[in-house]
């Protein structure tokens, strides 16, 4: 996202407007939030006791221009607008008292298991002392026809690993306010010879590099004669890849399917017709390394409900004792 947007927009307002728009255009949620944080905006997590349906501004003197950005319930994947707005209405109704437990959310808001699971996956109950795993267990037993005395008590669930939390955040909301996945994978990426996006600006034109990033966007304009442009992100920023038709044809599976893409490329920098230098990476080869993301989920082997490994190249098994359905890492924003 270009830094020049600050010249025209309040950063908090602009980020909220982008997140609330449907669709968001070229920008992924993680990209919007990262850019807002880089411009001094405090980002607050979605929370059943604080969030509205839309992302909203909250007074905060330490944040850019005095406002923090609170993520809205709309960011919870799988939560309908009706259930989200019903939850907000129930919280503000009556005496306006906050929810005390996941069970109370279900009772006061009159929402079902699907909505409760979506909120639990998004870690929306943490402010009331309920972890994601405990909330998912509670959601398993909140069917409205099950009396409280007949519901199964929550077992002693192990805490999420850092890697699991990151992957589940991305799965549930399209972003994380914790560590970036590639920050956790950086030792492995260095062992593979990968640089990070900070280093691109320091390297000369024509330098060969290896770089890995989460795929945010793929573009194949009709006038580009088969050339594909890809935007990838690591823990420090983004990089723009250019895949010519021969490379794209040879490495098609990685180009079109990878969530984590490793590229061997040559640096090309445009300086003459740009206010600031524009750097592209001209791809020589593309490799799908989504398996490294799978590893973030798989490192903890003592889950009480079985295997947490990814079921397919772009999905993880839901670490929920009540479900074996796969959940997918967010797809890139692709335009063809």
- For residue 5, the model assigns a pLDDT of 45
Radius of gyration of the chain measured on its C-alpha atoms: 21
CA–CA–CA angle 135, 139, 143 (5° rounding): 155
Cα 295 to Cα 308: distance, rounded to the nearest angstrom: 9
Average pLDDT over residues 49-55: 96
Whether pLDDT at 50 is above 70: yes
pLDDT above 70: percentage of residues in the chain = 77
Whether pLDDT at 26 is above 80: no
- For residue 332, the model assigns a pLDDT of 61
Average pLDDT over residues 203-209: 95
Q: Contact 260/212 with Cβ under 8 angstroms?
A: yes
Task: Provide the 3-class DSSP secondary structure of residue 58.
Answer: strand
- Each domain of the chain, given as residue ranges in start order, spans 8-75, 81-157, 181-292
| 167-181, 193-207, 232-246, 297-311: segment of lowest average pLDDT | 297-311
Cα 286 to Cα 264: distance, rounded to the nearest angstrom: 7
Cα 200 to Cα 152: distance, rounded to the nearest angstrom: 54
Most confident of 86-100, 133-147, 235-249: 235-249
Cα 185 to chain centroid, rounded? 16
Average pLDDT over residues 272-288: 86
| 20-34, 46-60, 133-147, 239-253: segment of lowest average pLDDT | 133-147
Pick the CATH number of 181-292 from 2.60.40.10, 3.40.50.1370, 2.40.50.140, 3.40.225.10: 2.40.50.140
Compute the half-sphere exposure of residue 48: CA atoms within 13 Å on the CB side of its CA. 38
Token readout for 23 is: 């669709």
Whether pLDDT at 240 is above 50: yes
Average pLDDT over residues 137-152: 65
Cα 86 to Cα 79: distance, rounded to the nearest angstrom: 11
- For residue 4, the model assigns a pLDDT of 44
Task: Indicate the average pLDDT of the chain.
Answer: 82
Q: What is the pLDDT of residues 58-100, one digit of tens each?
A: 999 999 989 999 999 999 999 999 999 999 999 998 677 899 9
- For residue 306, the model assigns a pLDDT of 29
- The H-assigned helical ranges of the chain are 11-20, 29-38, 81-92, 102-109, 113-121, 132-140, 162-173, 181-191, 197-200, 245-250, 252-257, 290-298
Token readout for 64 is: 């850019």
* Length of the chain counted residue by residue: 336
Using alpha carbons, select from 139, 104, 146 the residue that is nearest to residue 121.
139
């Amino acid at each position: 996202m270009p830094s020049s947007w600050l010249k025209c927009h309040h950063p908090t307002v602009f980020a909220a407007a982008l997140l609330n728009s449907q669709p968001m255009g070229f920008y992924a949620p993680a990209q919007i939030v990262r850019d807002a944080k880089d411009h001094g905006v405090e980002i607050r997590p979605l929370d059943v006791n604080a969030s509205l349906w839309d992302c909203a501004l909250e007074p905060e003197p330490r944040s850019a221009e005095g406002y923090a950005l609170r993520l809205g319930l709309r960011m919870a994947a799988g939560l309908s607008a009706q259930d989200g707005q019903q939850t907000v209405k129930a919280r503000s109704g009556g005496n306006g008292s906050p929810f005390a437990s996941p069970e109370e959310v279900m009772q006061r808001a009159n929402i079902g298991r699907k909505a409760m699971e979506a909120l639990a996956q998004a870690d929306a109950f943490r402010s009331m002392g309920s972890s994601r795993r405990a909330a998912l267990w509670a959601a398993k037993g909140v069917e409205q026809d099950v009396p409280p005395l007949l519901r199964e008590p929550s077992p002693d669930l192990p805490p999420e690993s850092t890697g699991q939390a990151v992957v589940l955040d991305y799965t549930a909301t399209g972003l994380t306010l914790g560590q970036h996945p590639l920050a956790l994978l950086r030792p492995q990426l260095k062992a593979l010879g990968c640089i990070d996006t900070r280093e691109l600006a320091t390297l000369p034109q024509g330098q060969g590099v290896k770089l890995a990033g989460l795929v945010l966007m793929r573009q194949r304009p009709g006038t580009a004669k088969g050339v594909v442009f890809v935007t990838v992100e690591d823990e420090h920023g983004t990089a723009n890849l250019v895949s010519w038709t021969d490379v794209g044809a040879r490495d098609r599976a990685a180009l079109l399917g990878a969530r984590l893409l490793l590229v061997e490329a040559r640096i090309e920098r445009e300086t003459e017709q740009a206010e600031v230098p524009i750097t592209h990476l001209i791809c020589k080869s593309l490799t799908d390394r989504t398996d490294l993301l799978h590893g973030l989920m798989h490192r903890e082997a003592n889950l009480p409900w079985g295997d947490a490994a990814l079921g397919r190249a772009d999905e993880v098994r839901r670490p929920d004792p009540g479900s074996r359905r796969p959940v997918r890492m967010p797809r890139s924003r692709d335009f063809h």
